[in-house]
Structure 1
Amino acid sequence: MRWGEIIRRLVLIPPTLFGVAVIVFVLLRVVPGDPIAMMIPPGATPADIDRLRAFYGLDQPIPQQFVTWLGQALSGNFGRSISLHQRVFELVLARLPATLELALLATLIAVVLGVFAALIGVQLRGRRAEWIVDGGVGVLLAIPDFLWALILLLLFGVLIPWLPISGRIDPQIDIGFHSSFYLIESLLTGRFDVANALLHHMMLPALALALPFSALLARILKTSLAEAEDQDYAQIARARGFSRPEILLREVFPNALIPTVALGGVQITLLLGGTVLVERIFSYEGIGNMAIDAVINRDFPLIQGLILTFAALFIALNLAIDLVVTLLDPRLRHG
């Protein structure tokens, strides 16, 4: 990816976010449902309802509402949550690290499982045992992440209660962190007891997100390894007396990694989107769980802020993946 392409992608980010903001803003206000009606107490007078509408700017025409909201958003003010009565920016900023840490842990687990399954599968290529690996990958891939969440919840939360099934950390643990990145900060500051407690709470939702992703990585990488193993450079290495494991790791794997990163990296955005349901199932305190509450309560400002946050994350991930592929592939780096 040349510098011109990078600049072009960066220039397109603001128009993309603007388009997302317009679509979400308009759709929320044309879909039936009144957020004010869901928050007014019993016995509220029409004057009270009108005051609430005016307070949140819902008494204005939709174009005027959007212009007002956009002006505030450009200055860093994304409005005030209707249901939680706090600033949207502060709410998202407090919950986003939890989702990012969960997605990062799920990605690490998926990469380890996917690479291991792919290497075992290609090592067993042409044997009957290869069908066992392919069948296991197919099963993992056929079950979506939210269903894996329910399976893991019943298995390790009810039948074999080894791991906690709700929350981010035990309430009795004194956190006292300076940021919302609890896991990263606990590891950096040497609070391994807190990190262990966090990992116990994160393990089941991270596994639910990682299992389908690991199967996809395994299938893509195994196919790439099989194709690369038939190339001339692999045959030359075999003729020079290198063992098959050495050829796979030293010659074949680096070349097979490029299409795997390109295709599998895009799926990270789907993994991030999957946190919405998985966090809800495990009552995990991230932005995915918050998004469902915001939709239920018709919290327009919070929904807009969360969707823009997801959109910005997707754009940043896609750009980062393209950069990684460029660094791995010399043809793109020097082309």
Structure 2
Amino acid sequence: MSLAAVLRRLATAAVTLFGVAVVVFVLLRVAPGDPIAMMIGPGASEADIAALRARYGLDQGLVTQFFIWLQGLIAGDLGTSISLRSDVLGLLGQRLPATLELAGAALVVALLVGGTIAILGTLARRSPGEAVVDGANGLLLAVPDFIWALAFVLVFAVFIPVFPLTGRMDPTIDMDFATRFFLLESLVRAEFAVFGNIVSHMTMPVLALALPLAAIVARVLKGALIEAMGQDYVLLARLKGKSELRLVLQEALRNALPATLALTGVQFTFLVGGTVIIERIFAYPGIGNMAIDAVINRDLPLIQGIVLAFGAMFIAINLAVDLAVAALNPRLRHG
């Protein structure tokens, strides 16, 4: 993908993000409910209510409110959370790394599990083992992430309590983190006890997010591998005496990756969106859990900031996937 193409995509992304901001802003303002009424005490006077409206800019017209908010957005100010009384940008900076680590770990697990299932299914094609692999993959595909989450809570936190149920790590851990990426930082700093504790807290939510995506990866990759196994270059390699496993890994896999990677990128955006309910189930302190509280409290500035953060993530993921697919496919890279 050329530099001009990347710049065009970035320009399109900016326009898309602006459109998302406009739609969310308007929908939140026309939706029923008064955020000020939800945060003010029952004995407040009309003057108190008017002062709060003025503080959060809700006493202005809709167009004026939007341009005030847009001016702040350009300056890097997303406003102040009505329910948490804190800077929205600061809140996103605190919570977003937790969600990124959760989604990133789930993606890695999904690729490993899905890739393994696809390779096993390809090696077992036209044999009884293929039906077993396809059946297991169908089970993973049929069960949504929140059902997996509830099942894991029941089995591994209630019946056999081997994993912590809530939180990101034990509150007794005393470590001075330089960043909010606790998992990555503890690994880089070789704090393996802390790293293991964080992993134990992430295990159930990561698996709940990863298993449905793994089933999609397995299905797409297996189809691409079987198609590649019928190509002439694979037949030539087979005539040279290569084993089926080497044919799959060395010959077919690299040609099956681009299509799988493209679909995985699209599904990964749904995985990031799925963190909302998963974080709520496990009381995981990420942006998804905060989004539910923001909606319940009708915290307009915080909802707008969270939606923009999700929109920016989706656009960045899609752009990264396009670049990766172009890098793996010479016809797209030089086209």
Is the Cα–Cα contact under 8 Å of residues 39 and 83 in structure 1 kept in the other structure? yes
Question: In structure 2, the residue corresponding to 1:283 is in which secondary structure?
Answer: coil
| Alpha-carbon distance, 1:47 to partner | 1.3
Partner of 2:78: 78
Letter in 1 for 2:257: L
| Alpha-carbon distance, 1:42 to partner | 2.1
Letter in 1 for 2:187: L
Partner of 1:118: 118
- Structure 1: distance between partners of 2:261 and 2:225: 13
Higher mean C-alpha deviation, range 141-150 or range 200-209: 141-150
Partner of 1:297: 297
- Equivalent positions of 1:142-153 (< 5 A) are 142-153=142-153
- 1:129-181 alpha-carbon deviations (Å, 9 max, x no partner): 11111011111111111111111111111111110010011111113101101
Is the Cα–Cα contact under 8 Å of residues 20 and 308 in structure 1 kept in the other structure? yes
| Alpha-carbon distance, 1:11 to partner | 1.3
- 1:17-39 alpha-carbon deviations (Å, 9 max, x no partner): 11110000000010101111110
| Alpha-carbon distance, 1:252 to partner | 0.5
- Structure 2: distance between partners of 1:265 and 1:16: 18
Letter in 1 for 2:177: F
Question: In structure 2, the residue corresponding to 1:44 is in which secondary structure?
Answer: coil
Partner of 1:217: 217
Is the Cα–Cα contact under 8 Å of residues 109 and 207 in structure 1 kept in the other structure? yes
Higher mean C-alpha deviation, range 146-155 or range 203-212: 146-155
* TM-score, length basis structure 2: 0.99
- Structure 1: distance between partners of 2:116 and 2:5: 34
Question: In structure 2, the residue corresponding to 1:201 is in which secondary structure?
Answer: helix
Partner of 1:133: 133
Higher mean C-alpha deviation, range 69-78 or range 142-151: 142-151
- Equivalent positions of 1:155-170 (< 5 A) are 155-170=155-170
Question: In structure 1, the residue corresponding to 2:70 is in which secondary structure?
Answer: helix
- Structure 2: distance between partners of 1:43 and 1:65: 28
Q: Percent identity?
A: 56
- Structure 1: distance between partners of 2:221 and 2:21: 37
Question: In structure 2, the residue corresponding to 1:49 is in which secondary structure?
Answer: helix
Letter in 1 for 2:97: P
Partner of 1:327: 327
Partner of 1:63: 63
* TM-score, length basis structure 1: 0.99
- 1:241-293 alpha-carbon deviations (Å, 9 max, x no partner): 11111111111111011111011221110110000000000000000000000
Letter in 2 for 1:231: Q
Letter in 1 for 2:237: A
- Structure 2: distance between partners of 1:138 and 1:175: 43
| Alpha-carbon distance, 1:16 to partner | 1.2
Cα RMSD of the aligned pairs, angstroms, is 0.8
| Alpha-carbon distance, 1:93 to partner | 0.4
- Structure 1: distance between partners of 2:182 and 2:243: 45
- 1:164-220 alpha-carbon deviations (Å, 9 max, x no partner): 010011111113101101111111111111111000001100000000000100000
Partner of 1:91: 91
Partner of 2:283: 283
Letter in 2 for 1:142: A
- Structure 2: distance between partners of 1:73 and 1:184: 30
- Structure 2: distance between partners of 1:185 and 1:245: 37
Partner of 2:34: 34
Question: In structure 1, the residue corresponding to 2:176 is in which secondary structure?
Answer: coil
Is the Cα–Cα contact under 8 Å of residues 220 and 264 in structure 1 kept in the other structure? no
Is the Cα–Cα contact under 8 Å of residues 326 and 333 in structure 1 kept in the other structure? yes
- Structure 2: distance between partners of 1:128 and 1:37: 64
Partner of 2:241: 241
- 1:50-102 alpha-carbon deviations (Å, 9 max, x no partner): 11111101111111000000001100010000000000000000100000000
Letter in 2 for 1:37: A
Query: What stretches of structure 1 move > 2 A for 4+ residues in a row?
Result: 1-4
- Structure 1: distance between partners of 2:85 and 2:170: 26
| Alpha-carbon distance, 1:3 to partner | 2.5
Question: In structure 2, the residue corresponding to 1:263 is in which secondary structure?
Answer: helix
- Structure 1: distance between partners of 2:239 and 2:266: 37
* Residues paired across the two proteins, number: 335
| Alpha-carbon distance, 1:41 to partner | 1.1
Unmatched segments (≥5 aa) in structure 1: none
